[in-house]
Amino acid sequence: MRGRDRRPTIHKETLIGRRELLYDPASSLGHRLPRLGFFRGRTELCRFSGAKIYPGKGIRFVRSDSQVFLFANSKCKRYFHNRLKPAKLTWTAMYRKQHKKDIHAEAVKKRRRATKKPYSRSIVGATLEVIQKKRTEKPEVRDAAREAALREIKERIKKTKDEKKAKKAEVVAKTQKTQTKGGAPKAAKGPKLGGGGKR
């Protein structure tokens, strides 16, 4: 067996995570090629534990509805298929997040929001000069203006109410005149009694 020329193989990681076996062409010359490194891909997260999975690692599971799940190891895959809840297992990322175990790490990640500096801009119907004038006027003047505006609104409401009352009185007077001309009003018919129809 020792004398037989065995070809050394190099494992190349593909994008899918499947291993392709490549035969070393230099094996007949007695040279050994250096092992190929991982391709520079992005790390993924385990669908069960939330652990980082580096390229070429992990178990990929494709469900019948074409949904792809990537698990860190066979333990995660087994627990997923047995329908265990990751939130109930202390070593999963979901449990740690729910029970606030990594608070110090999250506090570092939180960035301060850029606070917007307030600046004055004109509003529709009022220029900057008018706004500045209103800001600088004394509170007594402001209160007097407010009271005058409220008084005007109340008067307007009272006026509309009076107009409505007058209209209502006119309508009532007209209906009374028509009733006296026509004589006694007819009695309203009540609902029909007895069932009329098929049973």
Q: How far is CA 15 from the centre of its chain?
A: 32
Indicate if the pLDDT at residue 168 is higher than 80.
yes
CA distance to 22, 122, 177, per residue, from 15 (Å): 16, 57, 94
> Is there a single domain that holds both residue 63 and residue 105?
yes
* DSSP per-residue string spanning 132-185: HHHHHS-HHHHHHHHHHHHHHHHHHHHHHHHHHHHHHHHHHHHHHHHHHHH-SP
Structure confidence by residue, pLDDT tens digits, 18-36 = 444 444 444 444 444 444 4
Instruction: Tell me how far apart the alpha carbons of residues 197 and 3 are, in angstroms, rounded to a whole number.
Output: 107
Strands 59-62 and 68-71: antiparallel
* DSSP per-residue string spanning 71-91: ESSHHHHHHHHTT--GGGSTT
Q: Quote the domain boundaries for residue 139.
A: 128-177
> Is there a single domain that holds both residue 24 and residue 63?
no
Indicate if the pLDDT at residue 91 is higher than 60.
yes
Any domain includes 123 = no
Mean predicted confidence (pLDDT) in 129-141:
84
Any domain includes 172 = yes
Q: 85 near 92, Cβ under 8 Å? A: no
> Is there a single domain that holds both residue 89 and residue 33?
no
Any domain includes 147 = yes
Which amino acid, 113? R
> Is there a single domain that holds both residue 76 and residue 26?
no
> Is there a single domain that holds both residue 32 and residue 47?
no
By mean pLDDT, which of 34-38, 52-56, 157-161 is the weakest? 34-38
Instruction: Tell me how far apart the alpha carbons of residues 159 and 69 are, in angstroms, rounded to a whole number.
Output: 73
Any domain includes 189 = no
Q: Higher confidence at residue 143 or residue 106?
A: 143
